[in-house]
Amino acid sequence: MILTRMTPYGIPSPRQSLRNADYETARRILAGEAELWGDLSAGAETAARSAAIAADPQRLLSPGDYQEIAAEAMARCYAQLERYEGRSRFRRWVCGYAKNLTRNRCSRQLTAQRNQHLLRAAVRERGLCLDPLQILIRLERDQSLWAAFYALDNIQRIILQQRIFCNTAPKVLAKQLHLTRRQVLEEYDRGLFALRWYFTRAYF
């Protein structure tokens, strides 16, 4: 059940009315009126694609990737429609899924680029380092670091990734993740501590 904030005249605000309408439509779809899906989802996929693009400021992904993410977000929201509680417009709910999918795909892309860089660096060092064991040790160390990175909680991984690779300000991250600036900084510190612990465990 969603709460409706009334205007001074006892009438729901236009935004609240739209959210209520989306919620009621979702309930009817779940009750068997599948033909209403088109009404509920109108414009949501386009909004999700825009949200995916906005969540990738470095443009690591291609236009085709953004379209795939939007389609996947729509499919997930349809499959999990019972989780929609009407706290926002349906399209905004879909956009939240699209942003998370984009961040995860960008993380994988950054990992792939990092691994390619490590391999190229290792090949270049063959002419400078006569001991192949040193090359292998360096590769093992770097692989352990990335394994530790992906052992972090999702929110910590996102914050560290955005701070370290994208230099995103804590204030901007707080708005994106619906946290306070202080919470972002606390998660950043906890993430660094956990990263050190996981790395030590994986490497040593």
Q: What pLDDT band is residue 185 in, cutting at 50, 70 and 90?
A: very high
Q: What is the mean pLDDT of residues 177-200?
A: 91
Which residues of the chain are in CATH 1.10.1740 domains?
1-101
Predicted TM-score of the model (pTM) = 0.56
pLDDT for 105-163, tens place per residue? 888 887 767 666 655 665 565 555 556 677 677 778 878 888 888 888 888 888 988 88
**CA distance linking residue 4 with residue 8, whole number of Å:** 13
Q: What pLDDT band is residue 7 in, cutting at 50, 70 and 90?
A: very low
Q: Which one of 63-72, 107-116, 143-152, 193-202 scores highest in mean pLDDT?
A: 63-72
**CA distance linking residue 173 with residue 184, whole number of Å:** 7
Which residues of the chain are in CATH 1.10.10.10 domains?
142-204
Q: What is the mean pLDDT of residues 8-16?
A: 55
The reported pLDDT for the residue numbered 20 is 92
The reported pLDDT for the residue numbered 5 is 45
DSSP state of 118: H
Return the half-sphere exposure (C-beta side, CA atoms, 13 A cut-off) of residue 180. Answer: 3
Distances (CA, A) of 181 to 83, 96, 169, 175, 194: 28, 20, 9, 8, 20
Q: What is the mean pLDDT of residues 21-45?
A: 94
142-204 domain in CATH 1.10.10.10? yes
Phi and psi of 12, rounded to 5°?
-60, 145
Please, what CATH class does the domain formed by 1-101 belong to? mainly alpha
User: Residue 17 pLDDT more than 90?
Assistant: no
Q: What is the mean pLDDT of residues 163-176?
A: 85
The amino acid at residue 109 is Q
Q: What is the mean pLDDT of residues 189-194?
A: 93
